[in-house]
Amino acid sequence: MIKKIVWILLLLVTGKIHAQELNARVTVLAPQVSNISKPGLEALQKTIRDFLNNNKFSNENYRPNERIDCSFIITINSWDGGSGYTAEAQIQSSRPVFNSTYNSTLLNMSDKNFDFSFNDGSTIDFSDQNYISNISALLTYYAYTIIGLDKDSFARMGGTPYFKKAQNIINLAQASGNTGWKAADGLRNRFWFNENVLNPVFKELRNFIYSYHLNGLDQLTDNDKGLTQIVAALPALQEMDKQKLGSIFPNVYFASKAEEVTNVLSKLNTQERIKAYNMLAEIDPANIGKYEGLKQ
């Protein structure tokens, strides 16, 4: 009986350890700020990493190999000598391609307004129902966004519940006075990225993320059907409102995927490559130079 209880407790503890969704790498830099100590930066880095990797952002349990690889590179631009930091961050996430060692980028976003307050030796508390601090809200918002994009790559519109959770964080944070949470704070911020992913105007782009990854990349190691599926998914993107192509969601997504898409579709025959190039040039004119390889 005692052995059985011990075994159950071990399962519960193991399940808790393996429940978290993120496998985050965190780097905190301050190359232009001379009055910050290296131990202080390392402590801040560890606190942020622990927040992302040890909190549970969904009701699902992830096995260790299922956790989402992501990275946060946070650059401190100034420090007030106390708890106030102005910073910017580069946030990336990826998912593995089935039956390969390759990871495909899902998010590569720059946040120029990653400002926060943090006291040495303190922890960062998590809540999805209340605004605690800007650093907590920032990390929670990006955790939900990363999970949402990952879910979209495995099921059509699968990330919607997590994008709505990120939207709730935005609503809670708007009264804080920090920049990046409101529509008026600029066109390339957290508010607009979340607005875009939940806007029906960009439904076809979210469907493309699913088709490109699950029906495309994940099939390439077995046969060339994946290439056909990717090309077949492109025409739907041509139906998107051309006036919306400069919005942050398509801008961020295509900027991070253009080279990869070109490399993947370069395996097509000449006629199909030209066809794909013409569609991509219309869909994503901002990165047309990256698609030039398809014409060779």
Paired residues of 206 in beta bridges: none
Q: Tell me the two tokens of residue 177.
A: 């006075």
Cα distance between residue 215 and residue 234, in whole Å: 13
- Bridge-based pairing of strands 84-96 and 22-29 is unpaired
Residue-wise pLDDT for 48-57, tens only, equals 999 999 999 9
Contact 34, 114 (CB under 8 A): no
Please report the pLDDT score of residue 8 as a whole number: 35
Please report the pLDDT score of residue 245 as a whole number: 82
pLDDT under 50 in the chain at which residues?
1-17
Please report the pLDDT score of residue 225 as a whole number: 84
> Domain spans of the chain?
2-139, 204-295
Cα distance between residue 113 and residue 181, in whole Å: 10
Contact 235, 283 (CB under 8 A): no
Q: Is 168 exposed, middle or buried (0-12, 13-18, 19+ CB in 10 A)?
A: middle
Paired residues of 74 in beta bridges: 28, 89
Please report the pLDDT score of residue 181 as a whole number: 98
| Residues written for the chain | 296
Q: Tell me the two tokens of residue 234.
A: 């492109």
3-state DSSP call for residue 253? Answer: helix
Q: Which helix (H) or strand (E) holds 79?
A: strand 68-79
Cα distance between residue 61 and residue 58, in whole Å: 8
List strand residue ranges (DSSP E) for 22-81, in order: 22-29, 68-79
Cα distance between residue 175 and residue 173, in whole Å: 6
Side chain identity at 168, as an amino acid letter? N
Whole-number CA gyration radius for the chain? 21
Cα distance between residue 192 and residue 251, in whole Å: 12
